[in-house]
């Protein structure tokens, strides 16, 4: 896999060395066991895979190249380039402006843009409607396009389903940039409907089986389906794709459920006519991170810290996995570690910040799982680790320990 040129301040002196050490030991990524960094009073347990992925590094490289190569031009970000506040703030510090927020709401007027301006399309991709608007202004939306190749792979899979007269069921969050983009690209060639979870999928199954009136479809999915969607006609043949950052186990369960629905309705000999057995469309990084996080669940630890943007879907799912086993705190970075007794963290289900006391156990040594989402720079984990060390006596110097560990 190619390497990318990204700013030095995103590179880590500590965590980066740990990753390189594991990669050298296990180049084929067969060993998902976590890495333990023993600093005496505290032991950090790191997932085998975490942090920046291919798509994120690609987006960062393109964005900073645009800044370097166009010092005299105005540069705009269509929306948050990735879901990490540190990265987006750094881009803004170079004079970049956002056109939309993460929900597609305008932060400026389209009329402010001219054909001489540069617009960077984020890693999540964008809708065909937005591409057309940029073209109308005279801006090529593909010139500085950072859309992740794995997102484009989902679009291609949706197009294949549409070409075979299947309706595309998208497992995703309807207000997420990526899902909005996938829905737009899918809708040009196939009917589509978005389901956010198993509960909605089960309702969709009841509609297909005729267990509830067809009117129920409009009530549940009227704002999450293509115009003119006819549930009686368009739910006869379906295939499943997903937002690339969803939980793999949930996407698989959704596909399995819909396959069983078609089996019940049409019988084993005709199920293939009505359900396209597509492979999971999660990206490799989401799969790797989730698999490595599941391996973390076997570890003995006192708590978990998960670092990332609060609007990061893939990061929230890591939190969801870890909180099954440990007290888990979702933080943006080291600034949320207010003291040895108080932490500010994000409750992703309630979408609000909380403050918790006595988050750091008094026992020594204390063992902390530390990981991050795919849009989080490793330098943020360095800062979190060093901040935790400030709260403790008798800790070993992490650089000295790292030198002894990785050479």
Residue 299: is its pLDDT beyond 80? yes
Does residue 301 have a cis peptide bond before it, meaning omega lies within 30 degrees of 0? Answer: no
What is the average per-residue pLDDT within 318-346? Answer: 97
Is residue 60 located within the same domain as residue 31? no
- As a whole number of angstroms, the distance between CA 155 and CA 104 comes to 19
pLDDT, residue 278, reads 79
Residues 395, 289 share a domain: yes
| Residue 143 falls inside a structural domain | no
* Cβ–Cβ < 8 Å for 3, 34: no
Residue 169: both structure tokens together: 């069921």
**Same domain? 376 vs 347:** yes
**Residue 173 sits in the same domain as residue 272:** yes
Whether residue 2 lies inside any domain: the answer is: no
Cα 31 from Cα 8, distance rounded (Å): 29
Between 171 and 374, the higher pLDDT residue: 171
Same domain? 401 vs 300: yes
Query: 275 with 213, same domain?
Result: yes
How far apart are the C-alpha atoms of 70 and 73, rounded to whole Å? 5
Asked if residue 1 is part of any domain, the answer here is: no
pLDDT classification of 280: cutoffs 50, 70, 90: low
Q: Are residues 153 and 278 in the same domain?
A: yes
For the chain, the first-to-last Cα distance in angstroms comes to 25
pLDDT band of residue 289 (cuts 50, 70, 90) is confident
DSSP 186: H
Average pLDDT in the 233-238 region?
98
Does some domain include residue 219? yes
Q: Give tens-digit pLDDT for 93-148.
A: 999 999 998 888 999 999 999 999 999 999 999 999 999 999 999 999 999 999 99
Query: Which whole number is the average pLDDT over 249-257?
Result: 92
Query: What confidence score (pLDDT) does residue 188 get?
Result: 96
> Are both 270 and 178 inside the same structural domain?
yes
pTM: 0.87
Tokens at residue 400, please? 């000295």
Q: Of 83, 102, 137, which closes a domain?
A: 137
Cα–Cα distance for residue pair 354/185, rounded to 1 Å:
38
Last residue of a domain, one of 258, 282, 306: 282
Q: Please, how many CA atoms are within 13 Å of residue 226, restricted to the half-sphere of its CB? A: 21
Mean pLDDT, residues 236-253 taken together: 91
Non-local CB neighbours of 252 within 8 Å, separated by 6+ positions:
280
> Which one of 248, 282, 316 terminates a domain?
282
CATH number (domain holding residue 159): 3.40.1010.20
Q: Residue 282: its pLDDT value, please?
A: 63
Other beta carbons within 10 Å of 252: 15
pLDDT of residue 4: 84
On whether both 295 and 226 belong to a single domain, the answer is no
Domain that holds residue 99: 54-137
Catalytic annotation present for 68? no
The answer to the question of residue 142 being in a domain is no
Catalytic site residue from 178, 203, 320, 336 = 178
User: Does pLDDT of 220 surpass 80?
Assistant: yes
Pick from 17-31, 214-228, 297-311: least confident: 17-31
- Please tell me the distance from the alpha carbon of residue 102 to that of residue 183, in angstroms, as a whole number: 16
Q: Is the pLDDT of residue 82 over 90?
A: no
Q: What is the mean pLDDT of residues 69-89?
A: 90
CA proximity to 286, closest of 172, 369, 171, 373: 373
Report how far residue 158's alpha carbon sits from residue 278's, in angstroms, rounded to the nearest whole number.
10
Does some domain include residue 144?
no
Query: How many structural domains comprise the chain?
Result: 3
Q: What is the pLDDT of residue 13?
A: 87
Does 328 map to a domain? Answer: yes
In what side-by-side order are the strands of the sheet with 328-331? 35-38, 42-46, 366-372, 303-307, 328-331
């Amino acid at each position: 896999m190619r390497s990318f040129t990204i700013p030095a301040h995103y590179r880590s002196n500590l965590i980066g060395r740990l990753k390189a050490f594991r990669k050298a030991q296990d180049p084929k990524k067969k060993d998902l066991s976590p890495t333990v960094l023993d600093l005496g009073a505290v032991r950090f347990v790191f997932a085998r895979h975490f942090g920046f992925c291919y798509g994120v590094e690609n987006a960062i490289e393109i964005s900073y190249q645009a800044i370097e190569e166009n010092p005299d031009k105005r540069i705009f970000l269509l929306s948050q380039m990735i879901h990490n506040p540190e990265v987006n703030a750094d881009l803004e510090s170079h004079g970049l402006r956002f056109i939309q927020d993460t929900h597609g709401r305008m932060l400026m007027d389209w009329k402010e843009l001219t054909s001489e301006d540069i617009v960077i399309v984020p890693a999540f991709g964008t809708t065909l409607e937005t591409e057309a608007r940029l073209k109308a202004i005279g801006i090529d939306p593909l010139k500085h396009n950072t859309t992740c190749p794995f997102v484009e792979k989902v679009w291609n899979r949706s197009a294949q389903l549409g070409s075979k007269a299947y309706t595309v069921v998208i497992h995703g969050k309807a207000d997420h940039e990526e899902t909005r983009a996938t829905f737009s690209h899918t809708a040009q060639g196939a009917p589509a409907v978005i389901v956010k979870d198993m509960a909605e999928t089960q309702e969709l199954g009841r509609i297909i089986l005729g267990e509830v009136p067809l009117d129920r479809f409009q009530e549940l999915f009227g704002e999450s389906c293509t115009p003119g969607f006819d549930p009686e006609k368009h739910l006869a043949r379906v295939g499943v794709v997903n937002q690339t950052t969803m939980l793999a186990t949930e996407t698989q369960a959704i596909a399995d459920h819909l396959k069983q629905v078609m089996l019940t309705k049409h019988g084993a000999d005709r199920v293939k006519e009505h359900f396209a057995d597509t492979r999971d469309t999660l990206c490799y990084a989401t799969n790797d991170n989730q698999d490595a996080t599941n391996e973390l669940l076997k570890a003995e630890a006192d708590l978990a810290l998960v670092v990332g943007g609060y609007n990061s879907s893939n990061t929230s799912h890591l939190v969801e996995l870890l909180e099954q086993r440990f007290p888990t705190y979702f933080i943006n970075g080291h600034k949320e570690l207010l003291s040895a007794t108080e932490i500010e963290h994000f409750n992703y289900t309630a979408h609000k910040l909380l403050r918790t006391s006595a988050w750091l156990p008094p026992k020594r040594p204390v063992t902390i799982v530390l990981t991050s989402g795919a849009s989080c720079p490793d330098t943020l984990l360095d800062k979190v680790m060093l901040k935790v060390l400030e709260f403790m006596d008798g800790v070993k110097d992490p650089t000295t320990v790292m030198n002894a560990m990785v050479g």
